[in-house]
Amino acid sequence: MARRETTPTDGPADGAVGLPDPATLGYEQARDELAAIVGRLESGAGTLEESLALWERGEALAARCQEWLDGARERLTAARGGRTGAPGAQQTQGTQDDDARTAPAAGTTEEEDR
pLDDT, residue 4, reads 37
Q: To the nearest whole number, what is the mean pLDDT of the chain?
A: 76
Task: Dump pLDDT digits (tens) for 36-90.
Answer: 999 999 999 999 999 999 999 999 999 999 999 999 999 999 999 877 666 555 5
Q: Give the predicted TM-score (pTM) of the model.
A: 0.59
User: HSE of 74 in the Cβ direction (CA atoms, 13 Å)?
Assistant: 6
CB atoms within 10 A of CB 16: 16
- Angle subtended by helix axes 27-43 and 48-79, to nearest 10: 150
- Tell me how far apart the alpha carbons of residues 43 and 89 are, in angstroms, rounded to a whole number: 43
pLDDT, residue 85, reads 66
- Tell me how far apart the alpha carbons of residues 53 and 13 are, in angstroms, rounded to a whole number: 5
* Domains in the chain: boundaries: 12-83
Choices 1.10.3210, 3.40.50, 1.10.287, 1.10.1060: CATH for 12-83: 1.10.287
